[in-house]
């Protein structure tokens, strides 16, 4: 019998794998924080514009073309009348006023070509009949219905020559141009049926609602304060959905109150199928608990957990989820913090996905000093007005971006850079419009 027993070997647990990060993260400050601009530019560098598709011209309004569009032929294709009136041969007017007036008879049943010395009725935009080269207004008719002229008419008066707008092969629309109804009309007049454009991005908002226990507790306290029914507590989701729809993108909203990590993972994975961007919002506010979405992201793809020098919204989460590397951004809890992060980061991402340039900055002068945070960019709800022809901002309510009442009174959110001294009166600040 053995006198000694060999100690049972206990296998050490395998260390957890480090979350897969994303490449090229920007530099940080002494507190390991990125600037707002650096974080925005970094996120935009991780996404590509939505691939172009062929779209019928009338349906392409508001979208950016992805190539130069050339005229397939002369525009207009034929010479047309510019005004409603009467078309005739200008040569028949050369003796007008030398010394007598010339009368031109209106042919009610016009032949083709038009007989010299007669005129025929035309409407603006119609091709000039054969045998005519000018158009005269109807106020030149006399009581007998004939045209009376006291001076010669120049050739092509009242007409638009074929090819006078664009010649064959000329560029009608430059790559990157956003189409509006005026450009649409030019394309249609050139006989172009389809254009290659970047379609509106498909955005899926995954809204994490208060769970049953939290909702029941809130409803109990609300009833104690006299509220009989609470239809919705999803203020963050509502604010972000409305802000996203205002950008003219395709939006789908998926709501959940699940507390299961596996169920939340499944919802996020399904949201990423066919989406160009997934936005996660949360209205689940529980003391001592964090937003449930960031914890399930690392196994789903590359993630970026960053601290940004901004208040509110210092903790930012972004991921490219498998299998299509679909971008997913997690917004802070609460309508105000979520709107700030939406305007700072989501709006530029959607512009990049749409192939559009960054939004032009709106600047407005302060009407009084505004306090700064010494180390972080802050955000103030403001009202905008024009004073002496210049845009001027004034604080909305108490100027608290986390307070929905202040947001409701605001036209915009002002961006206040960090600093030890208050922003002086008259200093221009960048403003993000709320509507």
Question: What does the pLDDT look like over 314-362, one tens digit per residue?
Answer: 999 999 998 889 999 999 999 999 999 999 999 999 999 998 889 888 9
Residues facing 103 on adjacent strands = 148
What whole-number distance in Å separates Cα of residue 125 and Cα of residue 83?
7
Q: Residue 5: its pLDDT value, please? A: 52
For the record, the structure tokens of 153 come out as 């008419």
Number of domains observed in the structure of the chain = 4
Residues 109, 38, single domain; the answer is no
Give whole-number Cα distances, 71 to 78, 170, 171, 172, in Å. Answer: 14, 6, 6, 6
DSSP single-letter state for residue 285: -
Sorted by sequence, the CB contacts under 8 Å of residue 342 that are 6+ apart come out as: 240, 243, 244, 279, 331
Rounded Cα gap, residues 126 and 225, in angstroms: 72
CA distance 410 to 403: 11
Q: For residues 248 and 332, state if they share a domain.
A: yes
**343 C-beta neighbours (distance < 10 Å), count:** 19
Identify the residue with better confidence: 220 or 303. 303
How much is the pLDDT for 46? Answer: 97
Same structural domain, 261 and 332: yes
Instruction: Choose among 176, 196, 198, 202: nearest CA to 324.
Output: 202
Judge if 235 and 279 occupy the same domain: yes
The reply to whether 39 and 89 lie within a common domain is: no
Whole-number pLDDT of residue 281: 94
Token pair for 278: 């997934």
Identify whether 62 is part of a domain: yes
Encode pLDDT of 80-118 as tens digits: 999 999 999 999 999 999 999 999 999 988 788 999 999
In this prediction the pTM is 0.78
Q: What is the pLDDT of residue 335?
A: 93
Nearest to 377 by CA among 298, 426, 319, 314: 314
Q: Are 294 and 420 contained in the same domain?
A: no
CATH assignment of the domain containing 119:
2.170.190.11
Same domain, 150 and 228: no
pLDDT in tens, 10-41: 555 555 556 688 999 999 999 999 999 999 99
Confidence of residue 289 (pLDDT cuts 50, 70, 90): low
The answer to which of 287-291, 316-320, 331-335, 431-435 has the lowest mean pLDDT is 287-291
Answer whether residue 16 is part of any domain.
no
Do 56 and 40 fall into the same domain? no
Q: Are residues 235 and 323 in the same domain?
A: yes
pLDDT score of 318: 98
Residue 228, CA distances (Å) to 37, 221, 224 in order: 45, 11, 9
210 with 348, same domain: the answer is yes
Looking at the chain, the whole-number percentage of residues with pLDDT higher than 70 is: 89
Provide the pLDDT for residue 356.
Answer: 85
Element (H, E) at 383: strand 377-387
Please indicate whether residue 203 or residue 357 has the higher confidence score (pLDDT): 203
Q: Please identify which residue in the block is written with the tokens 């950016």.
A: 64
Q: Could you tell me the maximum CA-CA distance found in the chain, to the nearest angstrom?
A: 145
- Are 73 and 168 contacting, i.e. CB atoms less than 8 angstroms apart? yes
Q: Render pLDDT for 223-277 as a digit per residue (tens, 0 to 9).
A: 666 666 554 568 899 999 999 999 989 999 999 988 789 999 999 999 999 899 9
Tell me if 261 sits within 8 A of 293, measured CB to CB: no
Mean pLDDT computed over 383-397? 95
The domain boundary residue, chosen from 324, 352, 380: 352
Q: Domain range holding 178?
A: 51-73+162-196
Q: Which of 200-214, 218-232, 373-387 has the highest mean pLDDT?
A: 373-387
Of 302, 321, 352, which residue sits at a domain end? 352
Cβ-based neighbours of 392, under 8 Å, separated by 6 or more: 364, 365, 366, 367, 384, 385, 386
Question: 7 falls in which pLDDT band (50, 70, 90)?
Answer: low
Task: Please report the pLDDT score of residue 210 as a whole number.
Answer: 72
Q: Could you list the beta-strand ranges (E) of 9-136.
A: 53-56, 69-70, 80-81, 85-88, 102-106, 118-122, 134-136
User: How high is the pLDDT of residue 15?
Assistant: 55
Residue 404 lies in a domain: yes
Task: Determine the pLDDT at residue 16.
Answer: 57
- The reply to whether 394 and 281 lie within a common domain is no
Q: Are 296 and 265 in contact (CB under 8 A)?
A: yes
pLDDT, position 263: 94
Give residue 191's region: left, alpha or beta (phi > 0; psi -120 to 50): left
The reply to whether 29 falls in a domain is no
Residue 20 lies in a domain: no
Same domain for 190 and 242? no
- Residue carrying structure tokens 């945070």: 373
Q: Please report the DSSP string for 187-241 in residue order.
A: HHHTT--EEEEPPPPEEEEEEE---HHHHHHHHHHHHHTT--------HHHHHHH
* pLDDT-derived band at 200, boundaries 50, 70, 90: very high
Least confident range from 189-203, 248-262, 284-298: namely 284-298
Q: Is residue 25 part of a domain?
A: no
Mean pLDDT of 370-392: 96
Task: Pick the range with the lowest mean pLDDT from 49-53, 280-284, 406-410.
Answer: 280-284
What does the pLDDT average to over 144-155?
Answer: 94
Residue 71 near residue 168, CB atoms below 8 Å: yes
**Residue among 71, 68, 105 nearest 86 (CA):** 105
What's the pLDDT at 222?
Answer: 63
- Residue 19 is assigned to a structural domain of this protein: no
Domain boundary among 331, 352, 373: 352
| Angle at the Cα of 432 from the Cα atoms of 431 and 435, rounded to 5 degrees | 130
What is the pLDDT averaged over residues 422-428? 97
The per-residue pLDDT for 221 is 65
What is the chain's length?
435
Instruction: Assess contact for 162 and 78: CB atoms under 8 A.
Output: yes
Output the domain CATH number for residue 382: 2.40.340.10
Give the CATH number of the domain where residue 339 resides: 3.40.980.10
CATH classification of the domain holding 184: 3.90.105.10
Q: Considering the chain, what is the average pLDDT of its residues?
A: 90
Does residue 426 sit within a domain?
yes
End-to-end CA distance of the chain: 87
pLDDT score of 94: 93
């Amino acid at each position: 019998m053995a006198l000694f027993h060999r100690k049972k070997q206990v296998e050490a647990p395998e260390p957890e794998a480090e979350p897969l990060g994303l490449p090229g993260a920007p530099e940080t400050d002494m507190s390991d924080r990125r600037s707002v601009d650096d974080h925005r530019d970094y996120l935009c560098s991780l996404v590509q514009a939505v691939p172009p598709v062929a779209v019928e011209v009338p349906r392409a309004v508001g979208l950016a073309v992805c190539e130069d569009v050339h005229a397939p032929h002369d525009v207009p294709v034929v010479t047309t009348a510019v005004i409603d009136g009467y078309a005739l041969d200008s040569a028949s007017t050369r003796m007008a006023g030398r010394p007598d007036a010339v009368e031109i008879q209106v042919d009610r049943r016009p032949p083709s070509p038009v007989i010299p010395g007669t005129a025929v009725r035309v409407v603006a935009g119609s091709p000039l009949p054969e045998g005519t080269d000018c158009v005269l207004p109807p106020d030149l008719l006399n009581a007998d219905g004939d045209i009376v002229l006291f001076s010669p008419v120049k050739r092509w008066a009242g007409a638009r020559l074929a090819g006078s707008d664009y010649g064959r092969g000329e560029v009608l629309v430059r790559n990157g141009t956003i189409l509006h109804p005026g450009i649409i009309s030019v394309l249609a007049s050139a006989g172009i049926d389809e254009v290659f454009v970047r379609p509106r991005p498909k955005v899926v908002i995954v809204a994490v609602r208060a769970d049953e226990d939290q909702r029941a507790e809130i409803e109990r306290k609300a009833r104690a304060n006299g509220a009989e029914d609470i239809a919705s507590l999803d203020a963050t989701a509502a604010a972000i959905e409305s802000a996203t729809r205002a950008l003219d993108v395709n939006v789908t909203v998926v709501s959940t109150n699940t507390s299961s990590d596996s169920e939340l993972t499944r919802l996020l994975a399904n949201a990423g199928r066919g989406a160009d961007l997934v936005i996660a919002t949360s209205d689940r506010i529980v003391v001592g608990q964090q937003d449930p979405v960031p914890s399930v992201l690392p196994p789903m793809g590359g993630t970026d957990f960053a601290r940004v020098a901004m208040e509110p919204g210092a903790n930012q989460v972004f991921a490219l989820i498998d299998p299509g590397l679909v971008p997913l951004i997690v917004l802070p809890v609460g309508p105000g913090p979520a709107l700030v992060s939406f305007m700072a980061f989501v709006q530029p991402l959607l512009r990049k996905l749409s192939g559009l340039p960054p939004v032009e900055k709106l600047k407005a002068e302060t009407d009084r000093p505004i306090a700064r945070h010494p180390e972080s960019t802050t955000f103030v709800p403001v009202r905008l007005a024009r004073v002496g022809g210049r845009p001027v901002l004034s604080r909305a309510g108490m100027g608290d971006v986390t307070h929905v009442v202040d947001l409701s009174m605001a036209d915009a959110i002002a961006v206040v850079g960090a600093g030890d001294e208050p922003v002086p009166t008259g200093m221009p600040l960048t403003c993000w419009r709320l509507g």
